[in-house]
Amino acid sequence: MKQRRVAPLWQFNPYFFMATFFLGPHMSRAEVESRVRLNGTQRVTALAQLSDGSFWFDAAEIVVNESACLDGG
């Protein structure tokens, strides 16, 4: 079975590499949705490995109005 995988990467969060999503041929459309707390405005990159072995990536600047990662609770 050939799989594709997608890994979102966050620039300033404590854990830069947090998840990898594996997508198999049973999926009619390669689509992933996720939520994550971001520590301020930052660039988010998605790195994808396609079933032919090639890698693709795209990035976007995400604006955070209120930070979710605060010290002291």
Tens digits of residue pLDDT in 26-60 = 777 778 888 887 778 889 899 988 888 899 999 99
pLDDT of 28 reads 73
pLDDT of 67 reads 60
pLDDT of 61 reads 94
Mean pLDDT rounded to a whole number for the chain? 80
14: which residues sit within 8 A by CB, 6+ positions away?
39, 69
Give the integer Cα–Cα distance in Å for 55 and 19.
17
Q: What is the identity of the amino acid at 63? A: V
Give the integer Cα–Cα distance in Å for 29 and 47.
17
Is the predicted pLDDT of residue 1 greater than 50, yes or no? Answer: no
pTM, 2 dp: 0.69
Which residue's structure tokens are 């404590």? 14
Report the candidate in 36, 35, 49 with the shortest Cα–Cα distance to residue 7. Answer: 49
